[in-house]
Structure 1
């Protein structure tokens, strides 16, 4: 903390601009990856979802198959009952007993018809689900293949950039350690709020870099004097003079060459 308090304004400006150059380099590396990590994550979620769906469909197929077997067994039981009641009719003593057994036979026949109807419906459902299973398997295989290629692509990019990024991250932390907390908070807040992540910019042709708004000559002189930290009234970015920016860029280019 003592080192942070000892920095004068110019040293603060140099440290914060160097940090910006390092963080912008990290942004470049991450932009090379683009949306690839998110694509891989989304594909992994899709593969997981399709796998779970396939498991559930296969479970449904097994349950329907078991129900069909159960209904077929019930039909055999009903047929056995019909045979039993038919045999009993041969030995009845009166019409009342005969009619009672006839009703039992009729009931069993109705149960068979109902079971056969259910079997027919379940077989149709089974065929429908089998078609969905086939389609889901094809989609899963396609997504798994796509995921495999995307992972390989990401792995290649990561192997190319990981070392550079880790080096830059360590340097970013090193420079952050030189900057007082309040200035660092402002830097992080501005970086979050601007599209290109540039919280610190230099003066170019009388305007802040990337802006068309001219900075008054008096303000430009104050910025060049490096006696206080000045922000752009239009964008809120911290401003540094072009000479300081050139000097720090040269230092950072030497640093980047070590990657």
Structure 2
């Protein structure tokens, strides 16, 4: 367990909002005030909203306390309670509450996905793939879950299948790999061991989709991370449109400092 926790310290989870379970956005006290006055909420703030406030402030222990008030009856609250534990790297507790959410609502795709991220964190990639596939049967239009499936397949070195999942995710949401949210009900996995190869496949995904600026960005990243097969950028058909772009030519001609 200690080794798992250490490996997770560098992991980054991205929480994305889901249309059926909206959360209240809260601005930082230092942020510029909006031009239009914001009306205070009508009536008392319930435990879910209070928990969301604590999550936005990264006060995860306090979020656990308030989400616990409704987790026994609400799948959404149980799932959010799992996420709060997950953010504190309490993986076994997180798993229990994702499973509790699924007992309350067996068709809760976000909880299925989040359970997949537990298996991924424990390096049980086969079970992670299984969970993501179950979630996608219920939510085939979720770009984040397709992205997670791709990352789990990548970890299993099933690169063509991973690329197909990334392409599907990008087709559903052009910003899926750029999300940096901190609230929500669905975890998006970002931790991989071979980041150079991971960024190569992201570059390939963006290039095939015609997002050439982002393709170049991820080519630069993978070269900085020590990717050595740079001839692939000239040979792979997905990169054909980049061949006449000066920035691309300069990038391949240079020797980026390996970070």
Task: Tell whether the structures are fold-level matches, with TM greater than 0.5.
Answer: no
Bigger relative contact order (CA 8 A; separation at least 6):
1
Higher helix proportion: 1
TM-score range, shorter chain: under 0.3
User: TM-score normalized by structure 2?
Assistant: 0.20
Rg larger in 1 or in 2? 1
TM-score, length of structure 1 as denominator length: 0.20
